[in-house]
Amino acid sequence: MNRRITVHIEASRPYDIIIGRGILTESGERIRTVLPKVQKIMLVGDDITAGLYGKNVVDSLTEAGFSVVQFIFPQGEANKNITTFAALLEELATAGLTRSDCIVALGGGVVGDLAGFAAACFLRGIDFVQIPTTVLAAVDSSVGGKTAVDLSCGKNLAGAFHQPSLVLCDPDVFATLPHRIFSDGCAEIIKYGFISDPALLEKLSHTDVYKLQAGDAIEEILADCVRDKAVYVTADEQDRGIRQLLNLGHTIGHGVEAASDFAVSHGSAVAIGMHLVTCGAVKKGICPPETLQLLEKLLAAYDLPMVCPFETQTLYSAALSDKKRAGGMITLVLPTAVGQSQLFPMPVEELLPFLELCLSDI
């Protein structure tokens, strides 16, 4: 029997995240245990995740006695939209799912966000289970209950808080991830370390991205990340206070993504964002230089970029349109020591000089 690590999330709806190699083939029995009344399951995947792992999951679900229908859409952020969302809702209705049935999301953050939002809305809310297949989804998007689709004006502008009933994470599926996508997910892992987990930073310092993708250390590291996220989700489920610490590198990162017209991937943009704010924090004298040195060492070891390809003004305009802005204030997350970060709310006018400081040569 392979090792299983369970992390419990005590959110408004408590649930477990179970991590372990080969757990995909146990999905039927594990869902049956948590949701005994479910008869029909809508398995949602994109063409890649459904193609690679759909059969394994369908076999396991069928064996456990579920009747399974599938919704498969073309991969990519461009399809995390209202059109795909509406098509999924129509399929759920056509297939006759009831309030005691459930949706299973098999994929990365795009699949999880879309399927989760449909679960939040269909019949005013049905159960859903996350089976994350990217590192980013495993450590971040599958946990915490944020679901959304993009609108033409921006990312994640329509969504809901809807916690899953179970998260099943099988690191074996990372073997088929393109290295760039694996590495990108590692930016989120590094983020948890710099927010509040010096022990995780220590572990990450002793490995590199190739060893992590091929080796055994990943399960423990995924568990560390979701335990870290659980603390913030439990304390601030609706993201109005302390949960904002999870945005380390993201306000600027979203700016980099937007300014590049999404040519820079999310993980790479977050890496650049973390580097930029850490430079700023060191220059402001609120963070010791060793923190920046460790961040640079880890970003290099995990094949992640750090140099911002944009000018201050471009970044400023793009960062200002981030939806995390509230009224005239923007809250930045800045590292203050190795494995420690704090929230710094500031009037938006102060963001430009701060960015200038971050990007300056001194």
Ligand X SMILES: NC(=O)c1ccc[n+]([C@@H]2O[C@H](COP(=O)([O-])OP(=O)(O)OC[C@H]3O[C@@H](n4cnc5c(N)ncnc54)[C@H](O)[C@@H]3O)[C@@H](O)[C@H]2O)c1
Q: Interface with ligand X by CB under 6 A: which residues?
A: 46, 48-49, 52, 75-77, 80, 107-111, 113, 133-134, 136-137, 140-141, 144, 146, 155-156, 173, 176-177, 181, 266
Measured from the CB atom, is 171 or 280 closer to ligand X? 171
Q: Sort strands 15-19 and 5-9 into parallel, antiparallel or unpaired.
A: antiparallel
Tell me, what DSSP letter sits at residue 164? -
Smallest gap from Cβ 249 to ligand X, in A, equals: 12
Question: Which residue has the CB atom at the shortest distance from ligand X?
Answer: 109
Smallest gap from Cβ 89 to ligand X, in A, equals: 19
Please report, in angstroms and rounded to a whole number, the separation of the first and last CA atoms in the chain.
Answer: 56
Smallest gap from Cβ 147 to ligand X, in A, equals: 6
Measured from the CB atom, is 75 or 251 closer to ligand X? 75
Measured from the CB atom, is 186 or 295 closer to ligand X? 186
Separation between Cα atoms, residue 225 and residue 96, nearest integer Å: 37
The pairs formed by 307-310 with CB atoms below 8 angstroms and a separation of 24 or more are 307/272, 307/275, 308/252, 308/256, 308/272, 308/275, 308/276, 308/359, 309/256, 309/260, 309/264, 309/272, 310/255, 310/256, 310/259, 310/260
With residues binned 3-state (H G I as helix, E B as strand, rest as coil), the percentages for the chain, rounded to 5, are 55, 20, 25
Measured from the CB atom, is 45 or 280 closer to ligand X? 45
CA 87 to chain centre: 24
Smallest gap from Cβ 46 to ligand X, in A, equals: 5
Measured from the CB atom, is 267 or 335 closer to ligand X? 267
Measured from the CB atom, is 85 or 354 closer to ligand X? 85
Smallest gap from Cβ 180 to ligand X, in A, equals: 10
Smallest gap from Cβ 58 to ligand X, in A, equals: 16
Contact 248, 276 (CB under 8 A): no
Residue type for 307, please? Answer: V
Smallest gap from Cβ 155 to ligand X, in A, equals: 6
Measured from the CB atom, is 76 or 289 closer to ligand X? 76
Measured from the CB atom, is 43 or 282 closer to ligand X? 43
Smallest gap from Cβ 314 to ligand X, in A, equals: 22
Q: Dihedral (C-alpha) 200, 202, 207, 208: value to the nearest 10 degrees?
A: 70
Q: Where are the beta strands (DSSP E) in 143-203?
A: 146-151, 154-161, 166-169
CA 46 to chain centre: 17
Q: Dihedral (C-alpha) 292, 295, 300, 306: value to the nearest 10 degrees?
A: -70
